[in-house]
Amino acid sequence: MVLAGPLGPSLAPAILKNRGLYRWVKPIANWYADLSGYRKVGYKYDDLIMEERDDVQRAINRLTPREAYDRQFRLKQASHCSVLHDVLPKEKWTKAEEDVRYLKPHVESVEQEELERRAWDNMVVSKK
C-alpha cells in the first residue's frame, strides 16, 4: 500500500476481518458519514478524492461513460447546492447503501501499475 497515495492508510481491512469490532464500529461510521454532510448534497464518498493527482486522473479516465456522467452530475449538483447555501431535499440524499466505492478499485489498479512500472524501469539488464 502506498502511504502517500490519494486513498491514504486505512484500518478498514483489519476491522472487516473482526466481526465483533465491525458490528461495533459500523454504526459509528454511518453516523459520522451522515454527520459529515457529503451525502446531503448528493456526493458519494469517492467524489471527495482530490482529482488533481495524476493517478486519480488516470483512474477517472477508466470509468465507464455512465459512471463518469453520474460523477459529473453529482459534482454539478453539489456545487449548485453550495451556491444556494442549501442541501438537497431528503429524498434526493445519497443513501448509505448507494454510497459504494466506485473509484477506489481504479485508483488501486493505477497505483499497482505505477509500482510495477517503477520496478521494471529500475531493472538492470546484464549480459551473461
**pLDDT tens, 39-81?**
999 999 999 998 899 999 999 999 999 999 999 999 999 999 9
Higher pLDDT, residue 75 or 123: 75
Mean of all residue pLDDT scores within the chain: 91
Confidence category of residue 2, pLDDT binned at 50, 70, 90: very low
C-alpha span between 107 and 128 (Å, rounded): 39
pLDDT score, position 93: 95
Alpha-carbon torsion, ordered 76, 39, 106, 123, to 10 deg? 100
Q: Residue 56's domain spans which residues? A: 40-109
Could you tell me the CA-to-CA distances from 67 to 40, 62, 71, 72 in Å, in that order? Answer: 20, 10, 6, 9
Q: What is the CATH number of the domain that holds 51?
A: 1.10.1090.10
Residue in this structure with the C-alpha cell 456526493, named with its chain if needed? 43
Query: Region 88-97: what's the mean pLDDT?
Result: 94
The answer to whether position 21 is within a domain reads no
**How many structural domains is the chain composed of?**
1
Rg from Cα positions in the chain? 18
The answer to whether position 22 is within a domain reads no
The answer to whether position 75 is within a domain reads yes
The answer to whether position 96 is within a domain reads yes
At 127, phi and psi to the nearest 5? -85, 135
The answer to whether position 55 is within a domain reads yes
C-alpha span between 64 and 39 (Å, rounded): 22
pLDDT score, position 1: 43
